[in-house]
Amino acid sequence: EYSYHLDPTGYPQVFIRRGASAALYRAGPWIWGAGFSGAGNPREDPTYKLTFVMDDNEVTYREDAIDRSVISRFTVSPTGLAQRWTWVDRRQEWVVYLNLPGDICDTYGLCGPYGICTTGNSPSCGCLDRFTPRNYDNWVGADWSDGCVRRSNLSCRGDVFLKYERIKLPDATSSWSNMSMTLEECRVECLRNCNCTAYMQLDVTKRIGCLVWYEDLVDIRSLSPDGQDIYIRMASSESSSKGGNKVVLIVSLASVTGVILITCSIVFLFIRKRKNVRKIEKEVNIYGSRDTDSELPLFDLSVISKATNDFSLGNKLGEGGFGPVYKGILEEGQEIAVKRLSKDSMQGQDEFKNEVIFIAKLQHRNLVRLLGCCIEGDENMLIYEYMPNKSLDIMLFDPKKSTLLSWETRFSIINGIARGLLYLHQDSRLRIIHRDLKASNILLDSEMNPKISDFGMARSFGGNETEAKTRRVVGTYGYMSPEYAIDGLFSIKSDVFSFGVLVLEIVSGKRNRGFSHSDSNLNLLGHAWTLYKEGRSIDLVDSSIGDSFYLAEVTRSIHVALLCVQQNVEDRPNMSSVVLMLGNEGVLAQAKQPGFFMERDVLAGQSSTSTNPASSTNDVTITMPEGR
């Protein structure tokens, strides 16, 4: 159930994982001249030689005994404890040479984002200098999973970098590297991308190499004297704050930039044709301003038309509320997916703008990546990374294709969606409620990693906002929470409800809407609830999975899903709790009655909010004006 392995994703690191996703321990990334950051072995190991190879053809790591007469073995226990044993001939017994995890601070992500663990401290978790706890009440209650936040918000332009010394470097799964860059070039690379959160030097002996992070920094601990140095992005106001960390200031070349911009503007006015001026005016209307933090690339219509073979039917992948979606191949060979706003679409400029603004500012491994957009004439198009396995619903609800979704894959998808939602609700620069989470909006890459997509209906919350009310209810029946469908109230708990429905669909292979059972008129939620009360949750499992699954993971997933779809908003957990519950074996609270657990309940909720009595299927995103 546990594995100890080298993971090359992002930048190579060593993990102990439970199943396919839940991390228990991490060492890394690899630092040339120092080894894996935070590894249990000292830099100069007297017994074992550490060898690491990374090039275009391979990424390998091995440990060899310096003295060939040394006999050793490596084990991973049923509880996830990895141990290296050495045979001591004089004592005629095996002796533990190394334990991983070695102490409480080796627990993966113990202190949450921007938290730092220090052995010997009480409590072990604290915030990095110039950071404060995200949730103070939870923090003092020894729940550090929410982590910490900067004292001052970033502005992108004018930010500074602070040097944090002698630490275990954060998880580098979402990172980028270049071995030929200098430290200064690395700083410039990080500075020009507003999503870059930190950078550091990869080769401490040759003083070269660059590694940059694109997400919140997780799994940090103090490691004096064997730790590494990292430069973390901070607000410019922190540059004058007193503290023990060195500050690297970003030099602003405002006057030079101003001259360049003025010159470029004059040239631009003389050489641009009238139609391109109209295009710029339209871009200003879409963005609200041409000066955005996203720096989202703009594609010419001719480029997209060529890539999609003039939007041919052979390239068409499908069609949604936004309009048709086409597969394309750019000249350099990159595969793309193009969403083309239809003139007859129920979604319009507001949804298009929503998608551009939100996705362009978000970056997470479980969110679909927006590569750019095309705004030309009457054409509005969004260009995404191409997902070869298309959307989850295509595989999940097809009797033949669903056999490709093993339990391990399904559980990995569940955890990936949970992490993506947690990022939206808590860890992103914008606190975002998706409002249309469903199987058809979960895309699958070549390795079946889930990517949350379609942010046209999303809303952002700021400050202390936790709930809002709308007269324009949008979403998909079968996934909408009761308080949202009936009263127009939405919050992060609305997404939690949708997530719970989605988990039950992934486990069962059945849609919530349209579900039928010979013994009752319950929908999928009601059926799962009945089985749960009778102690027969295992009967919900999709028959196409067979018997190849972990019973504890399946029943726990169903239990967590039922906690998410409870009738009362206050009873539902937040996504940080969901991620923790899915990843450990602690005792769960008893689930209470779900909302909309009978098909007639859904229809009643529908009729109370819509002036249109026609129902919507699971595959259709709907917009309902509230009746007066």
Delimit the domains of the chain by residue range: 2-105, 120-248, 263-385, 392-625
What integer pLDDT is reported at residue 469 of this predicted model?
A: 57
What integer pLDDT is reported at residue 602 of this predicted model?
A: 44
What integer pLDDT is reported at residue 163 of this predicted model?
A: 94
What integer pLDDT is reported at residue 465 of this predicted model?
A: 52
**Could you tell me the pLDDT band of residue 398, with boundaries at 50, 70 and 90?**
very high
CB neighbours of 335 closer than 8 A, spacing ≥ 6? 327, 328, 329, 385, 386, 388
Of residues 185 and 318, the one with the higher pLDDT is 185
What integer pLDDT is reported at residue 251 of this predicted model?
A: 32
What integer pLDDT is reported at residue 597 of this predicted model?
A: 63
* C-alpha to C-alpha distance for 32 and 12, rounded to whole angstroms: 12
What integer pLDDT is reported at residue 441 of this predicted model?
A: 93
Residue 422's Cα: distance from chain center in Å?
8
* Two domains, one topology: 120-248 and 392-625: no
What integer pLDDT is reported at residue 113 of this predicted model?
A: 95
Of residues 262 and 570, the one with the higher pLDDT is 570
3-class SS letters over 299-367: CCHHHHHHHCCCCCHHHEEEECCCCEEEEEECCCCCEEEEEECCCCCCCCHHHHHHHHHHHHCCCCCCE
Q: Mind listing the pLDDT tens digit for each residue in 486-544? A: 878 888 999 999 999 999 999 999 998 877 766 667 889 999 999 999 999 999 999 99
Mean pLDDT value across residues 117-141 = 86
The strand pairing partners of 566, in sequence order, are 594
Mean pLDDT value across residues 250-256 = 35
Q: Do 253 and 261 meet the contact criterion of CB atoms below 8 Å apart? A: no
Q: With a cut of 90, say whether residue 591 has pLDDT above it.
A: yes
Of residues 370 and 113, the one with the higher pLDDT is 113
Fold of 263-385: Phosphorylase Kinase; domain 1 (3.30.200)
Q: With a cut of 90, say whether residue 149 has pLDDT above it.
A: yes
Of residues 287 and 489, the one with the higher pLDDT is 489
What integer pLDDT is reported at residue 210 of this predicted model?
A: 95
Of residues 473 and 459, the one with the higher pLDDT is 459
CA–CA–CA angle 608, 611, 617 (5° rounding): 80
**Which pTM does this prediction carry?**
0.54
Mean pLDDT value across residues 83-105 = 86
Give the three-state DSSP class for 271: helix
Q: With a cut of 60, say whether residue 31 has pLDDT above it.
A: yes
Fold of 392-625: Transferase(Phosphotransferase); domain 1 (1.10.510)
Neighbours of 305 (CB within 10 A): 16
Please tell me the CATH code under which domain 120-248 is placed: 3.50.4.10
- Of these residues, 106, 427, 436, 495, which one is catalytic? 436
Q: With a cut of 90, say whether residue 548 has pLDDT above it.
A: no
What integer pLDDT is reported at residue 580 of this predicted model?
A: 87
First to last CA, the chain: 56
Q: Give catalytic status of residue 539 as yes or no.
A: no
**Could you tell me the pLDDT band of residue 598, with boundaries at 50, 70 and 90?**
low
What integer pLDDT is reported at residue 584 of this predicted model?
A: 80
